[in-house]
Amino acid sequence: MVFSSNVFLFLFLPIFLGLYYLSGQRYRNLLLLIASYAFYAWWRVDFLALFIGVTLWNYWIGLKVGAAGVRTKPAQRWLLLGVAVDLGILGYFKYANFGVDSINAMMTSVGLEPFILTHVLLPIGISFYVFESISYIIDVYRGDTPATRNLIDFAAFVAIFPHLIAGPVLRFRDLADQFNNRTHTLDKFSEGATRFMQGFIKKVFIADTLAVVADHCFALQHPTTGDAWLGALAYTAQLYFDFSGYSDMAIGLGLMMGFRFMENFKQPYISQSITEFWRRWHISLSTWLRDYLYITLGGNRGGTLTTYRNLFLTMLLGGLWHGANITYIVWGAWHGMWLAIEKALGLNTNQRSFNPIRWALTFLLVIMGWVIFRSENLHVAARMYGAMFSFSEWQLSELNSASLTGLQVATLIVAYMTLAFFGLRDFYANRPKADAIKGVKPAAGEESTEANGPATAQPGMIKAVPGDQPNSIHLPGYTVGTDAQVQPAFWVADWPRYAMRTLVLLLFVASILKLSAQSFSPFLYFQF
């Protein structure tokens, strides 16, 4: 089952939310677990047994690690056993076909008979729920979270359906308290519903429209320079709006149930270095790789060359996590190489000013990475790179121009205008945070947002004015004090927010109509 489907929108979600809010607090985690298993079983009932088996295994390992003590030798042995089994399960289902095919290619090249292996089907979401399970038992070993004895809560954490298929990659230590003490308010539900609709619009309106363009360009046998760049730009936008759209929907659904998941994207295409890009792209995975792989390899504790090696290996394995294909390994190596180079150059990755040249170079490197990421094999990638940098013919081929519609061109333009607007807005809004990281003090007359703390006015709050008296005159929409200062009421001050939510609702309805008219289009990260 996918979020962008009629069966989820009009059957599963209304029934679940109705039962969820009608049930008592003590039964909601159990209901969430049952609903999550039903959500997963909608795809394949038989793989639900594997899912439950992995959950029970890590629950038991967590208890054993916790009982053995923090960072003790017995705990380490239990941890290694747990991780080995988890990775063995992931390796078999995700990499068996790739491994056998690679071995067979070598064997046939020297005249030997190939192995015969029944095709292994990849269970949806296995990369995510295995990584989340591994993080749990490692955190128990490190003492970052106690081993839970509540099987329902742990199983619900692993299976919680909003993030089950394509993340964010959650951690038990971040959600343990929320399983017992989460709040359900109308404001939180409204925020979640709006966030869900925003993600739905990203997916259906933008990503699905651009997918047709990208697929067509990458399928061309003899692309022109124009074809190749059109395909690369279309896929770059498609992947972001598809994946961040899923994350928005997952976070929104979590809010509707009282959970607050971590953010997964923060305008990554505004980055001015590859290091900054990975602070903004798939944040839950990049922080997971940092905390559980990079640090385990030694991080930056073993000297300069060791640090570069660890960066490279972390990204190489991160690429392999995405799928059993040489293209993902090359993509991971590409990013690992540039991370190591930036580290070696001592590049400042906390820029206060926006440098168009650094941004353009970073964006070019990201696009080049997405080309290999999208390509079915190295041959297709080489064909696309050759066309992109031959600069021989910028016009689209007849085959491509004939299939390109005005709606697709308009969607591509709107997509990049949206990326530019929100990216620059985020960059300039968060510059003081970069100053804080570098130790730069605010200039004279500037105030620190952090210093203001809770006293900072928030949207929807009526700001107190000097001279306010109990007998102030109240007008519809305004409060007029004795000093004649006028302050708008919340519904006047918040009109941009309400206008935006109205626009989102209208676009959401239009997206549902578009969804009904198009063929099924799964999220890109389902394959990972």
Residue 4 or residue 54, greater confidence: 54
Looking at residue 26, what DSSP letter applies? G
To the nearest whole number, what is the mean pLDDT of the chain? 86
Produce one character per residue of 437-455: b if its CB has 16 or more CB atoms within 10 Å, e if not: eeeeeeeeeeeeeeeeeee
Kindly state the tokens that stand for 324. 């059993």
- Determine if the peptide bond prior to 356 is cis (ω within 30°): no
The answer to whether residues 489 and 284 touch, using CB atoms and an 8 Å cutoff, is no
Mean pLDDT, range 385-405, rounded to an integer:
88
| CA–CA dist 506, 286 (Å, integer) | 34
pLDDT at 146 over 60: yes
Query: What pLDDT, in 10s, does the model give residues 81-123?
Result: 999 999 999 999 999 888 887 887 888 888 788 877 778 888 9
DSSP string, 268-327: GGG-SSHHHHHHHSSHHHHHHHIIIIIHHHTTTSS-HHHHHHHHHHHHHHHHHHH-SSHH
Query: What pLDDT, in 10s, does the model give residues 447-460?
Result: 433 333 333 333 33
Q: At residue 437, what is the residue type?
A: I
Share of residues in the chain with pLDDT > 70 (%)? 86
The helix or strand, by DSSP H or E, that contains position 488, with its residue range, turns out to be strand 486-488
Residue 329 pairs with which residues in a beta bridge?
A: none
pLDDT at 493: 57
* Block residue for tokens 């990369």: 127
pLDDT at 187 over 50: yes
Mean pLDDT, range 194-208, rounded to an integer:
94
Domain boundaries, the chain: 26-181, 197-438
pLDDT at 31: 97
Query: What pLDDT, in 10s, does the model give residues 490-499?
Result: 455 576 777 8
Q: Catalytic amino acids? A: 322
pLDDT at 300: 86
pLDDT at 353 over 70: yes
